[in-house]
Homo-oligomer: A and B are copies of this chain.
Amino acid sequence: MFIELDLQSETPLYTQLIDQLIEGIASGELKPGEPLPSVRSLAEDLGINLHTVNKSYNLLKQEGFLQVHRKKGVIVQPDGMPGVTQEFEEKLRRTLRSLAAETAVRGMTEEAFVQQSRSIYRDILTNRGGEQR
């Protein structure tokens, strides 16, 4: 799986990593039970510190997206992904709220906003998002 980090971005590296891994799972590129690269090797591949990768893995494990298997190493959660928790719903609402408000102020219509949401959701499911193709 192809992962690209933006070292200049304000969003922490570990957050970017988490996002990309979740996208990988959403798109089906990373399948349940599939092993992920070891902390060290991924860190090396990405040119970042192993602790940063570790933090991402740990947070994802903690939320139930990954499992840390003795010997197998880190694998994608094989026993069903976590559902829509209350925390997630709140985070979703808060984030959409902020986005929608600015969107509205800037004059983007409801329909445009909704369409944007829809098309991005689809992009993700259909493997490989709306960037370079």
Contacts and interface: CB of A to CB of B under 8 A. Distances in A.
A22 interface: yes
A67 B8 CA distance: 7
A107 to B, nearest CB: 6
Nearest to A24: B101
A92 B101 contact: no
A113 B84 CA distance: 12
A84 B99 contact: no
**Which 4 residue pairs of A and B lie closest in terms of their CB atoms, listed nearest first?**
A117-B117, A26-B104, A23-B101, A100-B121
Contacts of A102: 22, 26, 88
Majority-rule SS of A interface residues: helix
A11 B81 CA distance: 23
Interface residues of A, number: 52
B8 A105 contact: no
Contacts of A98: 19, 22-23
Contacts of A71: 7
A123 B98 CA distance: 12
Interface string A57-79: 00000000101111110000000
Given A100-B117, A120-B96, A105 B25 contact: yes
Interface in A78-122: 81-85, 88, 92-93, 95-108, 110, 113-114, 116-118, 120-122
